Structure 1
Amino acid sequence: MSHEEKVRNRINELYQKKQNEGLTAEEEAERKDLHKEFIANFRAGFRQQLDGLKIVDKDGNDVTPEKAKRIQKEKGLR
C-alpha cells in the first residue's frame, strides 16, 4: 500500500469516527494535517499532468500555448 493510500485510508477512518462519536483534539489536528498533505499531493500531481499536456487541434497541429511550451522545455519534457 502506497503512502498516499495510507493517508487516504486514515482520513476516511477519522471521518467515520468524527461522524459516529467525534474526534479528540489530537485526532482533529491529525485529520487537518493529513488533509493538507493530501491536497498538496493532489495539486502536485495535477500540476505535473498539466505541465506535460500537449494541445493538438483537429488538424493535428500543436497549439500548446507558448508559456506551457516554455515550462515544458525548462523541465526537460519537450
Structure 2
Amino acid sequence: MLSKEKMNRINELSKKSKSTGLSADEAKEQTRLRKEYLETFRQSMKGTIENTRIFDPDGNEVTPKKIQDIQNKKKH
C-alpha cells in the first residue's frame, strides 16, 4: 500500500492540476506517483486473485485452472 503522504500528494497535485495547472516538475512527479500507485494496486489485486478460491452453490470448487495452478505452485 502506498504511504498516506504519497496518497495525499497525489490528491494535492490532482487538485492543483484542475485549478491552476502544474509546473513541468510537478507533472513529472504526478506521473511518477500515479505509476507507483498503479503498480502497488496491481500487485495487491494479483495477490488477492491468486489467493481466492471459488465455489458454486453446491459447494464444488470452480476456481479457474490457471488460478489453481498458481496456487499449487505457491504451496510447493
TM-score of the aligned structures, taking structure 2 as reference length: 0.88
* Equivalent pairs, count: 76
Aligned to 1:47: 46
Q: Percent identity?
A: 38
TM-score of the aligned structures, taking structure 1 as reference length: 0.86
Gaps of 5+ in 2: none
User: For residues 11-66 of structure 1, what are the alpha-carbon distances to aligned partners after superposition, in whole Å with 9 as ceiling and x for unaligned?
Assistant: 10001111221111000000000000001111111111100110101011111122
Q: How much does 1:4 deviate?
A: 3.2
Greater RCO structure (CA 8 Å; 6+ sep): 2
RMSD: 1.7
Gaps of 5+ in 1: none
Contact kept in structure 2, 1:4 and 1:38, CA below 8 Å: no
Distance 1:53 1:21 in 2: 44
